[in-house]
Structure 1
Amino acid sequence: MNHDLYFSAHSIAEQGSYKLMELPPELCMLVEASLSSEGDRPSPSSFYIKGQPGEDAVLCTQDKTYTIRTVSLSNSILVVTSPPDPDVFPGDDNSLPNLVIHDQLSEILELTQAIPKLHKLNTLLKGKEYGEDEEDNENDMNVEQAYDDPKNFTYADARAMIQASETELNRGLRERRILRINENLRPISSAYLTKIIQFILNTLAALSLNHESIPIEQVCTTLADEHDVPRIVSVQVMGWFGEISELEGKWKMDVVAVVREAGLGILKDAKDKSLNKDDLISSWKDSIGDKFASSVSLDLLVGNYIIAPASPYSNRQLIKYFPISHLPVDPAQRFSDLFLTRSKWKNEDIVPFLSDIAVNSKERDKMLLKYARATTDVDGVWFTSRAQYNG
C-alpha cells in the first residue's frame, strides 16, 4: 500500500507537540466503555495528569494512580493526518489519499500502576491537628467559622496537590482520620479520637443501644450535651467506623474497626515505652467493655508494633508502638530503617511494614529480593539486610 507523504506547513511549530501513550489493558477497557453508549448517553470517564514542579507526573483515573515513564522506540513513528484541503496536496486520480506529516516520535509514554502519594498529607497538614482543646468551638457553627481562614488546607487543595485518584484520596483521608469541616482538612488528634470512641461506647452501654442499628441523632446529641463534641465531628467519626444510612438516620458500627482504634489508642499513649503483652490485652478489654472484649486480638494492630521478649531468659513479651505511618516511603530508606530497628525479621513480621509501598504482593516480593536476603530454618523464613547499616 503506497501513500504520498507531505510535511505540514506548520511541521516546525508542531514538532514535539504530540505524545503517544500506551494504555494498560484495564485503561483500554475503561476508554472503550466510555466510548460505548447506552442509547445516546456515553459512559463518562476522566483521566487527570497530576504533579507539582519537581515531581514526576502521574496519571489518575477515578480509583487508581499510574506512574508515567518515557520509553525510547527503536523505530520512529510518524503522526500523520489526511490533508485538510485536497487541493493543497493533489494526487493522481487512482492513488490513495495523501497524508500530511505533523510530527515524528521516537518515544512513548508507558503507564504503571503505583501507590498513591498520600504521605504528603503529613507535611501539608502539620500543625493543623484538631483536638479537645480547640478554642471557641463549642458548637457546629463556631467549628465551621473557625476554619474560614485562607491559611487552611482545603479538600480542593488536596485534590490538586496530592498525586492520588479521587477514590484513593478519600480513602486516605478516612484512614488517616482527617476531618473535613467546611471543606477544610484537619487531622484529629489521636488522644481526642480515643476519647470520642470511649464516649460512643459508654453511650451505647448507657442507652442499651444495638450496635447494628444506632440512632445517629441520639448519639450526636448525647456527645454534644455531655462531652462538647460537635455534631460535625461526631458524625464523621461514626462514618470512619461503620456504615451510615442517611435515609434511616442509623449507624451500623464496625465492631472490629472500633476495637482496633481503641487498641491503637493504648499503644500510642504508651509512645516510647514498651508494654507487657498481657497488660496491653487486659487494658484493651477494659477500655471497650465486656460486650466487645471477645473481638480483642493483637492481629488487629499488625503494622503498628514490634514485639520482643523482655529478656533472653524470660518468656514475657513486650510490645512497643512502631507504626508503619512513621516509616519512610522510599523503599531503600524503608528497609534501612527496618533493619536498623531489627537486624533479622521473620517473613510474617516484615510483610505488614511493606503494605503501603507496594501495589501488590508481586511488587512486594521484588522489593524483598532487592533489599533483603532470605534464609530458612526450623522457625520459618527470615530476612536480613543485603546492605550493612550502622545502628
Structure 2
Amino acid sequence: MSDIDVRFSPSTAQDAGSFRLIELPPELCQLIESTMNAPSHAQSTLCVKGSIAEDAVLCTADKTYALRSVQLSNTLLVTTPSRTDSGRAVNVRDQIHEVLELAPSVPKLHKLPMFLKGAQYDEGDEDRRVTLVKYTYDQALSEIQASEAEFQRGLKEKRILVLDGYLRPIVPTHLSTILELILSYMVTLSLSYQAAGVEELVSTLADEHEIPREVSGQIISWFGPVKEGLWEMDVKAVVAEIGLEILRHYKHEPIMESEFLSKWKNKIGDTFEAFLALELLTGNYLRSQDNSGGAALTYFPASGLQVDPAARFTELFLTKQRWKSNDIEPFLSDIAVNSKERDKLLLKYARAITTPEGTWYTSRVGYNN
C-alpha cells in the first residue's frame, strides 16, 4: 500500500463546521438504496424541518425521525484528494466530533390548532362574510414537523377541511350535526353502510341542507375508504365522533354514565345502536363513582394535554394520584412512537405498583392536588 500525505487544506478554517455525518437506520438505508437508480419521479425525498426554536427532524414520505447529536470518542477527519498531487496526497477539510443519530419520532402536529385559531368552518359560512386567519396546506406542510402522509392523517384525525387550498377546522357541533344527518339518510335512502353511494349522499345533503359538496365529500372520506364512488363507512368512528361531541359539554361538571349513554343512543338512532360502546371514547374521559355508587364521566381528552412527556405526566398525576395500567396508556399514545417507547416513559416518570386488582402507576414525584 502506497503512502499518502495528509495535509491541511487552505480552506480548513473556512470549511470548519460545514460537514455533518448522519447515521442512517437500516430502513432509511434500504429506502435510499432502492431509489438510487430509480427514475426521478420515483425517487424518495428527504427533508429536514424545524425552526430556530425547535429540535430538527428528518422526514421521509411517511415517517418522521428526530435528529440527535451524539459525541464521538475519536475525531473523524473529512478529506478530499489534492488537486496538485493527485493520488499522492489528501487535504483535511474539517474535523468532526459528533454524528447525528436518527430515532423514530411522533409527528409534531400539536401546533396545528394554534395556527388555525380563527379559521374554523361553521354552518352558514358560505352565506356571510367571514374574516379568517388564512393558512394554506402548503404553508402548513412546510412548517409542521411531520411527513406528508402523517400530516394528511393528522388533518383527518383533527377534522381539518382543505377548502380552496386553506385549512379550516370544522366546528365540532357542525360536524356532529352532519354525521347525524348522514346516519339518518343511510336509513331513509336504504343505503348499505358497507357500500353507500357517495354521490347520492352529498347531493341529498346539498339539496336538503345546503351543505357544500366539497365539505360533505371530505367528511365522508374521514370516516372510511371511498372506492369507485362507494363509501365503506367506519360506523364505529362515526358513532364515536357523535358521542365525543356530547361528552365535550361535560368538561367541568360530570354526567352520569347512564344519562350519557341515553343521550348518545338518541343521537345515533336504533339502526346503529349496536355499535355504541363507551370504549370508543377511550382517552377522552375520566370515569368516577358518585356517592350513590353510580358511574360518572368527565370530558378529559388526551389531545388537550401537554406534548412534553414530563409536563404530560405532571398533568396526569395532578388529576389522579393513581392510574390503572389500562387507563393511563391511552393518554400516552400520542407522545410515544410505539408501546416500547411508552413503557420507557412509564418507567422514567411513574412507579408501578402490583396489586390483586392489577398494575397501578403513581408518580415518582410528589404533587399537591
TM range (shorter): over 0.9
Matched, 1:89 2:103: no
Inter-partner Cα distance in structure 2 for 1:242 and 1:364: 28
Matched, 1:131 2:122: yes
The answer to whether the Cα contact below 8 Å between 1:14 and 1:103 also exists between their aligned partners in 2 is yes
Deviation at 1:185, TM superposition (A): 0.3
Deviation at 1:78, TM superposition (A): 1.1
Q: Following superposition of structure 1 onto structure 2, how do residues 17-32 of structure 1 map, counting pairs within 5 Å?
A: 17-32=18-33
Deviation at 1:42, TM superposition (A): 8.6
Deviation at 1:288, TM superposition (A): 1.4
Matched, 1:344 2:335: no
Cα deviation digits, residues 172-223 of structure 1 (max 9, x gap): 1100000000110011011001000011111111111111222222111211
Matched, 1:228 2:214: no
Cα deviation digits, residues 34-63 of structure 1 (max 9, x gap): 1244xx779511110111121111111111
SS at match of 1:52: coil
Q: Following superposition of structure 1 onto structure 2, how do residues 113-192 of structure 1 map, counting pairs within 5 Å?
A: 113-134=104-125, 136=127, 151-192=133-174
The answer to whether the Cα contact below 8 Å between 1:308 and 1:318 also exists between their aligned partners in 2 is yes
Deviation at 1:252, TM superposition (A): 1.7
Residue 11 of structure 1: aligned partner: 12
Identify the range of structure 1 (5-14 vs 221-230) with the bigger mean alpha-carbon deviation: 5-14
Matched, 1:323 2:301: yes
Inter-partner Cα distance in structure 2 for 1:210 and 1:362: 40
Cα deviation digits, residues 218-239 of structure 1 (max 9, x gap): 1112111221211111000000
| CA pair 42-78 structure 1, distance change in 2 beyond 3 A | farther
Aligned with 1:302 (options 282, 287, 303): 282
Aligned with 1:354 (options 327, 332, 338): 332
Q: Following superposition of structure 1 onto structure 2, how do residues 249-288 of structure 1 map, counting pairs within 5 Å?
A: 249-288=229-268
Matched, 1:57 2:37: no
SS at match of 1:329: coil
Inter-partner Cα distance in structure 1 for 2:344 and 2:30: 28
SS at match of 1:242: coil
Inter-partner Cα distance in structure 1 for 2:73 and 2:351: 37
Residue 67 of structure 2: aligned partner: 68
SS at match of 2:125: coil
Inter-partner Cα distance in structure 2 for 1:378 and 1:12: 66
Deviation at 1:133, TM superposition (A): 4.2
How many residues in Structure 1 have an aligned counterpart in Structure 2?
368
The answer to whether the Cα contact below 8 Å between 1:69 and 1:110 also exists between their aligned partners in 2 is yes
Runs of 4+ aligned structure 1 residues displaced above 4 Å come to 40-43
Residue 93 of structure 1: aligned partner: none
Deviation at 1:10, TM superposition (A): 2.3
The answer to whether the Cα contact below 8 Å between 2:64 and 2:106 also exists between their aligned partners in 1 is yes
The answer to whether the Cα contact below 8 Å between 1:191 and 1:269 also exists between their aligned partners in 2 is no
Tell which structure's C-alpha radius of gyration is larger.
Answer: 1
The answer to whether the Cα contact below 8 Å between 1:212 and 1:251 also exists between their aligned partners in 2 is yes
Inter-partner Cα distance in structure 2 for 1:97 and 1:113: 42
Instruction: Give the TM-score normalised by structure 1.
Output: 0.89
Which residue identity does 1:100 align to in structure 2? Answer: N
Aligned with 1:376 (options 346, 354, 357): 354
Inter-partner Cα distance in structure 2 for 1:316 and 1:131: 37
Q: Following superposition of structure 1 onto structure 2, how do residues 201-216 of structure 1 map, counting pairs within 5 Å?
A: 201-216=183-198
Deviation at 1:353, TM superposition (A): 0.3
Deviation at 1:22, TM superposition (A): 0.7
Structure 2: gaps spanning 5 or more residues: none
Which residue identity does 1:330 align to in structure 2? Answer: D
SS at match of 1:253: coil
SS at match of 2:119: coil
The answer to whether the Cα contact below 8 Å between 2:66 and 2:102 also exists between their aligned partners in 1 is yes
Cα deviation digits, residues 129-187 of structure 1 (max 9, x gap): 111142526xxxx9xxx79x7x4011111111111111111111100000000110011
Inter-partner Cα distance in structure 2 for 1:190 and 1:244: 23
Deviation at 1:285, TM superposition (A): 2.1
Identify the range of structure 1 (57-66 vs 277-286) with the bigger mean alpha-carbon deviation: 277-286
Which residue identity does 2:192 align to in structure 1? Answer: N
Inter-partner Cα distance in structure 1 for 2:42 and 2:176: 43
Structure 1: gaps spanning 5 or more residues: 91-95
